[in-house]
Amino acid sequence: MFNLFHLSLKLSGFPIAKAQADFEKILQISEADYPDYLETKKREIVEFHLKNNAFYQNLVGKESFEKWNDLPVLTKKDLQKSLKDRLSKGYSEKTVFINKTSGSSGDPFVFAKDKEAHAITWASIIYRFGWYGVDFNSSYQARFYGIPLDFIGYRKERLKDFLSKRYRFPIFDLSDKVLEGVLEHFKTKKFDYINGYTSSIVLFGKYLQARNIVLTDVCPTLKVCMVTSEMLFEEDKILLEKHLGIPVVNEYGASELDLIAFQNINDEWQVNSETLFVEILDENNHPVPYGKEGKVVITSLYNKAHPFIRYEIGDVGILDEKSTLKKPILKKLIGRTSDVALLPSGKKSPGLTFYYVTKSIIEDDGNVKEFIVRQTKLDSFEIDYVSSVELTSEQIQEIEKAIAKYLEPGLHFTYNRKEVLERTKRGKLKQFQSML
């Protein structure tokens, strides 16, 4: 088998063969020896950046550290300065992998990884996708992702798609006419798996549901679907598994880090403990026990070009009580810390609660394809939705009754039926937005 994907990484200067060998050694470390491995890697990466990175030295304020919990928590706002001022000694913008975060948290920034760190990220991704029989060199991917619309960016992504054995469906227009064309591709191409943004794949699933189609009936080569970047709700997972005809795997990652958690074959959301150290912290940046919710804070154990040490990613989550250092399990991802609704009573509520309560009512009849909830004032919300018919007054009453019960009474809603919903430049759908 000609390994085009591995070759493309190698030609780009990423030492993938060495990274896979190193990753394999990490996997072999026993449960008993794992705490020592982790402590060593944590100390090594901090000491490296304290010695070689002026940006990180300045953030910590001293040249050495004793206790891990005394280290500062790095925020996205800290990183909104010129990349050259954040690179470690010995690295330049010409010698590292550079990319930009999507800005879905409202704080986009440019980041860098050294080539070894980027290679071990790929080793981690290749390993996890391998749980489901996906091989990046030979498996053909149906990709539901955004794409840059400028000429050079567009061509670059299309070339990467070719080298990575994937066919991309642009997701900025997912009207029925476009989805009909998507379905035609599945009839004629031997796709092995689907990968992409949750909301886009759910929309395709609803298109199939409306026509009573199971995708594997027209594309029997399909094995699995991986969804990423947006929340996957349990009822959407059930709908997708029924109408795609394949298992749906939930992925949680960040471009500046790696895959953070990936659903394993036992249906657990297994955290990546090989290249990352994931902590859950309270508002005072103290670790909380397993089973308690808090801010997701992540350390990249291998990135020497740029520090991601105790980096607050902007999400709220819970690690399962059965977690260990070698095998942490993400029990629940609650949503982004920035997506919090402030209510007239003084109560703070995750914005996704509104989305979740509303979803359980307005999607029952199958007319509403997708929607977003937007907070415009302390007591006022707008719901933009795409539907074949207007919401009925009964549905609106049900929504407002449920929100009064689960959150608080006295909130005001306006409903806007739309042809399409606005997505970010990358094609993501932000399900709850606060304008406060």
> What are the residue boundaries of the structural domains of the chain, listed by start?
4-336, 340-434
pLDDT bracket for residue 423 (50, 70, 90): confident
Burial class (CB in 10 A: 0-12, 13-18, 19+), 213: middle
Q: What does the mean pLDDT of the chain come to?
A: 89
SS3 assignment, position 132: coil
pLDDT bracket for residue 348 (50, 70, 90): confident
Q: Is the pLDDT of residue 1 over 60?
A: no
* Among 204-213, 228-237, 306-315, the least confident range: 228-237
Between residues 310 and 408, the one the model is more confident about = 310
| HEC per residue, 264-292 | CCCCCEEECCCCEEEEEECCCCCECCCCC
Equal CATH topology for 4-336 and 340-434: no
Predicted TM-score of the model (pTM):
0.82
Q: Is the pLDDT of residue 312 over 60?
A: yes
> What pLDDT, on the 0 to 100 scale, is given for residue 365?
60
**Which top CATH class is 340-434?**
alpha beta
Q: Is the pLDDT of residue 434 over 70?
A: yes
Helix (H) or strand (E) holding 161: helix 151-163
Burial class (CB in 10 A: 0-12, 13-18, 19+), 63: exposed
Which residue in 397, 348, 393 sits closest to 375, CA to CA? Answer: 348
Distance, CA of 277 to CA of 272 (rounded, Å): 8
Q: Give exposure, 30-56, as e/b (b: 16+ Cβ within 10 Å).
A: eeeebeebbeebbeebbebbbebbebb
* Among 109-118, 162-171, 389-398, the least confident range: 162-171
Is the distance from CB of 112 to CB of 100 less than 8 angstroms?
no
For 360-404, the pLDDT digits (tens) are 777 666 678 888 889 999 999 999 998 888 998 988 998 898 888
> What pLDDT, on the 0 to 100 scale, is given for residue 360?
72
Give 52-103 as a DSSP string.
H-HHHHHHH-SS--S-GGGSPPB-TGGG-S-GGGTPPTT--TTTSEEEE---
For 66-95, the pLDDT digits (tens) are 899 999 999 988 988 889 999 999 999 999
Q: Is the pLDDT of residue 49 over 90?
A: yes
What is the mean pLDDT of the segment spanning 308-321?
94
CA distances 185 to 168, 189, 314, Å, are 11, 6, 37
> What pLDDT, on the 0 to 100 scale, is given for residue 76?
86
For the record, the structure tokens of 240 come out as 């997708």
CA distances 53 to 48, 66, 95, 303, Å, are 8, 18, 16, 12
- % of residues, the chain, pLDDT over 90: 60
- Length reported for the chain: 436
**Which top CATH class is 4-336?**
alpha beta
CA atoms within 13 A on the CB side of 113: 24
Helix (H) or strand (E) holding 123: helix 115-130
What is the mean pLDDT of the segment spanning 182-196?
96
Q: Is the pLDDT of residue 60 over 90?
A: yes
Q: What is the greatest pairwise CA distance in the chain?
A: 65
Distance, CA of 227 to CA of 201 (rounded, Å): 8
What is the mean pLDDT of the segment spanning 306-327?
95
> What pLDDT, on the 0 to 100 scale, is given for residue 337?
62
Give 312-353 as a DSSP string.
EEEEEEEE-TT--SSS-BEEEEEEETT-EEE-TTS-EEEHHH
**CA 429 from centroid of its chain's CA atoms:** 12
Give 363-376 as a DSSP string.
TTTS-EEEEEEEEE
What is the mean pLDDT of the segment spanning 8-32?
92
Sign of the four-CA dihedral 296, 70, 115, 148:
positive
